[in-house]
Amino acid sequence: MANQLNKQSIADLCAALQEARDRTLELIADLSDEQMIGPRLNIVNPLRWEIGHVGWFQEYWILRHFRGRTPTNAEGDRLYNSARIPHDTRWDLPLPSKAEVVDYIQEILGSVKRLAFSSGPAEKINGYDESYFLRLALSHEYMHAEAITYTRQTLGYSRPKLSIVGKENDGSQRAQARSIEEKRAGRPVDLLPDAQIPGGIFLLGSTPGTTFVFDNEQWAHEVNVKPFRIARRAVTQAQFAAFVEDGGYTRRDFWIADGWRWRESTQAEHPVYWRKESSGGWSRRDFDAWVPLEARRPVLHVNWYEADAYCRWAGRRLPTEAEWEMAASAEPALRGGVTSRKRLFPWGDELPTSDRANLDWRAMSCVEADALPAGDSAFGCRQMIGNVWEWSGTDFGPYPGFSPGPYKEYSAPWFGDHKVLRGGCWATRSGLIRNNYRNFYQPHRRDVWAGFRTCSL
């Protein structure tokens, strides 16, 4: 019975890897070889390098590290090992054509699936079995698919056309976006008061026995959180526009020193993809099209400095990551405080569905910040999973007793100068995200699909 369960698990993971690869290839299907290189920027990768890296990573951990096989391409390490190739040199590499690199990564996936199905369970390596490395490669491809999406936004490419999105609704992507927004019910969330979180002893992080977690989530540890009040939904574009119109980018007193230096060096006067129209209103670049600001949708593509400055203007603050995770996953106790139970997702332990969270490119954009009430947390906080990543006020660092996982370059090199983001966005895969998941970027990055929610002072 145990061996049958293992085979089924491996089969499910191989199917998920195939689905992820189908998505990756659709995200680049319409791009030329020249677009797959693109300009040299410090916030994106050349896409011909990026998809080659995805395949190389899969081969390295599953076929080479775990199974001891030889490389498919003798030049693979020299071309695609991100830990050894400085970012700004990736445009100078002798990268294969788009067609050649697609063949390369498809050959690797074919070998992974054949070996997984034809071979019996291999011995664990340092306590990690094959399913761990399959999940590692799957999560890695999920993350890069999201990165490809924001690269298309950064470079002003057209919106990707994904035939495998929204099939269950038998409608267009735009129709599905409307369907999601129509699920908004009750009073608009911004007319409700902040959610009152009672505080108390809370287990921050993931617990042993979870199917797959990254090393930076290990392990759950007690933190004492003071009572706090947190907004029930993310800051909207209309709210952020009020900050801009009130001189938010010109008032030194709203910005910390590093943030003001960033603002002056970039000459930022508003969010990166906004422009002022002759009518006096604002437009936002959405891939290669300019659209009027969507007043009720979350503000996005703002960095940590911008989020922090808004909070100072509004007399608010960013939540710590412990506060964010408590608001997303804790349940109130009858006599005050919170129970010992933690939800995997804000709504419970059931997997994400389209009426709970905007994930998986279902809407191909953000939806209104008060949509999807079925996804509320126990405290009534909306969209803590999906729609837009949310900056926290916490520096990215190790949890007590941190020990790096097999992929040692994943977390430890970034401790100290990155900020934690939580919750995922509309392009995040539902198979990746959960309440405990920690994302992290440097505070100046505003190419990410990131926004924020605030806490009362």
CATH (domain of 46): 1.20.120.450
Rounded to whole angstroms, the Cα distance separating 428 from 432 reads 7
Specify the higher pLDDT residue, 335 or 142. 142
State the total domains in the chain: 2
The answer to whether residue 160 sits within a structural domain is: no
Q: CB neighbours (10 Å) of residue 445?
A: 18
The answer to whether residue 46 sits within a structural domain is: yes
The answer to whether residue 174 sits within a structural domain is: no
Is 307 found in the same domain as 264?
Answer: yes
Residue 126: pLDDT band (50, 70, 90) is confident
The answer to whether residue 286 sits within a structural domain is: yes
The answer to whether residue 282 sits within a structural domain is: yes
User: SS3 for 25-93, per residue?
Assistant: HHHHCCCCCCCCCCCCCCCCCCHHHHHHHHHHHHHHHHHHHHCCCCCCCCCHHHHHCCCCCCHHHHHHC
Strand order in the sheet with 419-422: 439-441, 419-422, 389-395, 450-451
Is 228 found in the same domain as 142?
Answer: no
Q: Encode 392-403: b = buried (16+ Cβ within 10 Å), e = exposed.
A: bbbebeebeeee
Residue 123: pLDDT band (50, 70, 90) is confident
pLDDT in tens, 421-450: 999 999 999 999 999 999 999 999 999 999
Q: Which of 152-156, 167-171, 258-262 has the lowest mean pLDDT?
A: 167-171
Cis peptide upstream of residue 219 (ω within 30 degrees of 0) = yes
The pLDDT > 90 percentage for the chain reads 85
Is 347 found in the same domain as 217?
Answer: yes
Nearest to 421, CA basis, from 443, 395, 389: 389
- Give strand ranges (E) for 118-243: 195-197, 200-204, 221-225, 228-230
Is 246 found in the same domain as 134?
Answer: no
In this prediction, residue 335 carries a pLDDT of 86
Answer with the one of 119, 154, 189 that is the final residue of a domain: 154
Q: CB neighbours (10 Å) of residue 169?
A: 14
Whichever domain contains 457, its CATH number is 3.90.1580.10
The answer to whether residue 315 sits within a structural domain is: yes
Tell me the residue type at 421. L
Rounded to whole angstroms, the Cα distance separating 413 from 128 reads 22
Would you say residue 96 has pLDDT above 60?
A: yes
Is 145 found in the same domain as 206?
Answer: no
Is 319 found in the same domain as 372?
Answer: yes
Rounded to whole angstroms, the Cα distance separating 57 from 24 reads 14
The answer to whether residue 364 sits within a structural domain is: yes
The answer to whether residue 417 sits within a structural domain is: yes
Q: Which of 2-11, 150-159, 248-257 has the lowest mean pLDDT?
A: 2-11
pLDDT in tens, 168-212: 433 344 444 444 444 444 445 455 789 999 999 999 999 988 889
Q: Whole domain around residue 50: which residue ranges?
A: 2-154
Residue 167: pLDDT band (50, 70, 90) is very low
Is 255 found in the same domain as 126?
Answer: no
| DSSP characters over 144-178 | HHHHHHHHHHHTTPPPP--TTSSGGGTS-HHHHHH
For 411, counting Cβ atoms within 10 Å of its Cβ (0-12 exposed, 13-18 middle, 19+ buried), the class is buried
The C-alpha angle with vertex 44 and arms to 40 and 47, in degrees rounded to 5, equals 85
Tokens of 310: 């808004």
In this prediction, residue 5 carries a pLDDT of 40
Rg, the chain, Cα only = 22
Tokens of 183: 């699920």
In this prediction, residue 225 carries a pLDDT of 97
SS3 317: strand
Is 192 found in the same domain as 116?
Answer: no
Is 184 found in the same domain as 135?
Answer: no
Rounded to whole angstroms, the Cα distance separating 68 from 81 reads 18
In this prediction, residue 171 carries a pLDDT of 38
Is 396 found in the same domain as 248?
Answer: yes
Is 290 found in the same domain as 224?
Answer: yes
Is 350 found in the same domain as 226?
Answer: yes
In this prediction, residue 121 carries a pLDDT of 58
